[in-house]
Each structure stands twice: as structure tokens, then as C-alpha cells.
């Protein structure tokens, strides 16, 4: 009978819980603390909370042994095993994350901007010092799209992705679809905590751009500078556009899209006409949705709540529990790439004109010069001749080609406002 090693036969010693320090006790940070306080997972122990002006943040439902601090350096130098960075932005959050990783601590973050711009560098820093970096909450809030790509879809070759990545824009546009005014819905979103006082990151498309670049690295395996993606704001979309979209069997959503064809990479972010039969059209309120199209596995859809403290906190705590269980990120190889191609899609173009004879002919001629074919011309009755809106849809073409045509059209003496050009997702 073989000899049994006593140490290997004995039950494994119980691991000490991971000691957790939260940086940023705002909407998400307080939700993370709430989940830890209420569910009390034995693998995790909240030990520190850092926030500026921390006295005003203290909550009596947080454990009495938790250290509240305004000194970031002291918390970084403490015995915390994991830093949960929820302050957001590039600085000083980036400095805190780098110091934590250099010290051999692990980091869990929801900071999409930091990961979009410096994710590769930070992952290498974590690996070099024996720590781990997890950011499942950086894209789509509580929807497990990042773990889904890393673990569930790592064996596929993803060729295309499209999705609704910003809950604030989805809230605004879905309310406008019901007839609400943009300014009123924005105020409502700010009151509910979905939008910041300065909503530019959301409505301008910059938030979705950062998230898209993260997904491109994980799913398409390409590292792109987010600045290469030029987003289009939702602020020019008006009630009349939803009316025309319904006539075309569509609605309007902020869509982030990327694909890789024969090594060429294309990406876009902006308000887009979506067919009412598409799952993307069904997303309402703060919901997010991501559709990934694989060479072998076909389409996979992730959907759920993408904004708000609790959904995002669920992803953060899930990352913490994965660390406590010894889980490591699946390393997916990626290579630097430049966005060097354009998607060819149909376009919706809404004009506002002083009506006069010959307008349609002039528009048709300008489009024809760029070899762009008209698909349909739609005009609603009941509008005055001195402010007449009408829509032209065109067959698939490159945005740069259409832009050249519109540069000439916008100079026509009948144009009251620049034409609004939106891609149409088919």
C-alpha cells in the first residue's frame, strides 16, 4: 500500500477572508458596501473606505470595525488585499490603481475610461507583481458580458459586435420614443442619478466609446486607441425623427458597433435607426444589450440593467468573490490595430428647408455625384413651407462618402439647419 502524505491528506486550512478597501463611496461604492453588509460573504471582509470629505459619507449600517479615511496613501499602505476603485476618471484613480498593483495588491474597478486607455498596461503591471486586475463592472453594469467573453466565448472567433452600452442614453431615447421632450427627460435622468450634472460623457457618446474599445480588445482581440472612434451625440435627435423612424418600421437607439473583416477594423458610436424587429429595439430605460456574432457559435445576446448603483455593484462583488475563489482572468491575446475601414450601411437623412421647387432634384444630383442611391423619400403633411422637414434614406454607403455629398447640400439656400445623418442598422 502506498504511503500517504499526512499533510496532503489533511483537510485544507480555511482561507482568511480577503480584506477589501473601497475607494469612492458614491452611488456604486455605497451599493457595494451595502451588499457586503447584508449578504456577509465569509470570503470577503470590508476593512477600509476612502472618500474625500469622508465624515459626510459615514453610514451607521457599515460595520463598526471598518476604517473610514480621507488619506488615500494610508489606505493603500494598509493590510487590505484588494482595492476596489470606484472613483472613476483617469486621475487620481489611475495613480491609486498603479500603486496598489505595484504593491502586489489586487484591484477591482468599474472604471471604463481607465481600462479603455490603460487596461493592457495595468494587466501587465498586475501580473508582474503577483496581483490581479478585474473589471467586469466596467461595461454594461451588472450584465456579465466581460466574464461571458473571457470564459464563455473564448473558444469562438468574434467577427462583429453591436450594442447599447450607455444606460443614460437608452433612458433618454426610449422616453423620447414615447413622446417626451429631450430636455425634460435629461432632467429626469439627472434627478434619478442616471446622468451627471454635465451629461456630455453620456449624451456625447464618449462613455459608450470607452466601453466599446474594451469589448473590441476582448472580443475582436484588437487594441485600439479610443480616440480613433469619433462618436456622434444624441442631442440633435428630435421628436420628428422618432415619427419618421416609426414610418420606416424603426426606432432610434445609441448603438456602439465594431467589426473585423479580413483584418480590417471598423467602429462607430452614435444614434442609429434600429428595425423594430431587432432585439436592440426592445431595450428600454437603463437597460443595456450586447450582441456578439461569432464565426462558429453565431449570435449571442447579453441583456439587463446597465446603469445604477446596485447592478454595477453586483458585478463588482462578483469579481471580488471570483478573486476569493482563486479565479484568474482568462488571458485573451490581442494586437494593436488602427481603425482603417468603414461600415457600409444605409443612412437616414433628415432635412429642414424653406420649401421651393427643385430641392429634391438638387439633393438627388449631389448624392448621385458620389454614387449614392436613394432608397426612399418620405414627407409628412401638416408642416409649414417655411420650416418643412422631410427624410431621404439611401442605400448602403460609407459615412465619409455621404459626408462629402452633404457638405454640398448643406450650402443650398433652402437649408434652415444642417442635415441630420443617422446610420440605419440592418
- What residues act catalytically? 211
DSSP letter for each residue of 202-251? HHTSHHHHHHHHHHIIIII-EE--GGGS----STT--HHHHHHHHHTTEE
Contacts 24+ apart (CB under 8 A), 127-133: 129/101, 129/102, 129/103, 129/104, 130/104, 131/100, 131/101, 131/104, 131/105, 131/106, 131/107, 132/106, 132/107, 132/323, 132/328, 132/329, 133/97, 133/101, 133/106, 133/107, 133/109, 133/329
What gap in Å lies between CA 214 and CA 312, rounded to an integer? 16
Rounded to the nearest 5 degrees, what angle is found at the Cα of 115, between the Cα atoms of 150 and 283?
Answer: 65
DSSP category for residue 301: E
Pairing of strands 106-109, 374-379: unpaired
Phi, psi of 48 (to 5 degrees): -140, 145
| Contact criterion met (CB below 8 Å) for 234 and 254 | yes
Q: How far is CA 250 from CA 241, 348, 390, 422, in A?
A: 10, 11, 16, 12
What gap in Å lies between CA 252 and CA 363, rounded to an integer? 24
What gap in Å lies between CA 207 and CA 114, rounded to an integer? 11
Amino acid at each position: 500500500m502506498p504511503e500517504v502524505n499526512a499533510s496532503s491528506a489533511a483537510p485544507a486550512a480555511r482561507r482568511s477572508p480577503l480584506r477589501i478597501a473601497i475607494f469612492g463611496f458614491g452611488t456604486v461604492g455605497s451599493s457595494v458596501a451595502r451588499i457586503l453588509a447584508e449578504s456577509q460573504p465569509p470570503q470577503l471582509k470590508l476593512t477600509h473606505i476612502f472618500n474625500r470629505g469622508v465624515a459626510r459619507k459615514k453610514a451607521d449600517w457599515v460595520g463598526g470595525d471598518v476604517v473610514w479615511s480621507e488619506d488615500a496613501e494610508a489606505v493603500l499602505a494598509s493590510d487590505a488585499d484588494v482595492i476596489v476603485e470606484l472613483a472613476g476618471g483617469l486621475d487620481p484613480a489611475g495613480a491609486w490603481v498603479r500603486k496598489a498593483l505595484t504593491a502586489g495588491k489586487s484591484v477591482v474597478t468599474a472604471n471604463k475610461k481607465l481600462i479603455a486607455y490603460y487596461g493592457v498596461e495595468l494587466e501587465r503591471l498586475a501580473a508582474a507583481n503577483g496581483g490581479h486586475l478585474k473589471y467586469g463592472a466596467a461595461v454594461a453594469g451588472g450584465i456579465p458580458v466581460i466574464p461571458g467573453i473571457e470564459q464563455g466565448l473564448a473558444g469562438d472567433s468574434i467577427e462583429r459586435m453591436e450594442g447599447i452600452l450607455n444606460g443614460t442614453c437608452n433612458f433618454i431615447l426610449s422616453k423620447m420614443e414615447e413622446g417626451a421632450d429631450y430636455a425634460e427627460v435629461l432632467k429626469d435622468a439627472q434627478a434619478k442619478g442616471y446622468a451627471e450634472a454635465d451629461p456630455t460623457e453620456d449624451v456625447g457618446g464618449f462613455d459608450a466609446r470607452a466601453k466599446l474599445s474594451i469589448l473590441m480588445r476582448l472580443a475582436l482581440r484588437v487594441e485600439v486607441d479610443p480616440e480613433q472612434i469619433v462618436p456622434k451625440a444624441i442631442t440633435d435627435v428630435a421628436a420628428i425623427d422618432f415619427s419618421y423612424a416609426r414610418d420606416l418600421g424603426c426606432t432610434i437607439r445609441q448603438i456602439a458597433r465594431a467589426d473585423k473583416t479580413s483584418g480590417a477594423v471598423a467602429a462607430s458610436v452614435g444614434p442609429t435607426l434600429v428595425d423594430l424587429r431587432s432585439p436592440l429595439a426592445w431595450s428600454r430605460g437603463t437597460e443595456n444589450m450586447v450582441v456578439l456574432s461569432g464565426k462558429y457559435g453565431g449570435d449571442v445576446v447579453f441583456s439587463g440593467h446597465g446603469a445604477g448603483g446596485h447592478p454595477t455593484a453586483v458585478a463588482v462583488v462578483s469579481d471580488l468573490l471570483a478573486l476569493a475563489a482563486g479565479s484568474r482572468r482568462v488571458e485573451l491575446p490581442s494586437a494593436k490595430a488602427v481603425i482603417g475601414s468603414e461600415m457600409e450601411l444605409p443612412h437616414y437623412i433628415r432635412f429642414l428647408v424653406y420649401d421651393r421647387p427643385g430641392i429634391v432634384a438638387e439633393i438627388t444630383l449631389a448624392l448621385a455625384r458620389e454614387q449614392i442611391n436613394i432608397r426612399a423619400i418620405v414627407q409628412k403633411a401638416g408642416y409649414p413651407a417655411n420650416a418643412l422637414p422631410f427624410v431621404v434614406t439611401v442605400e448602403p454607403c460609407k459615412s465619409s462618402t455621404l459626408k462629402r455629398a452633404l457638405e454640398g447640400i448643406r450650402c443650398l439656400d433652402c437649408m434652415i439647419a444642417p442635415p441630420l445623418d443617422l446610420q440605419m442598422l440592418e
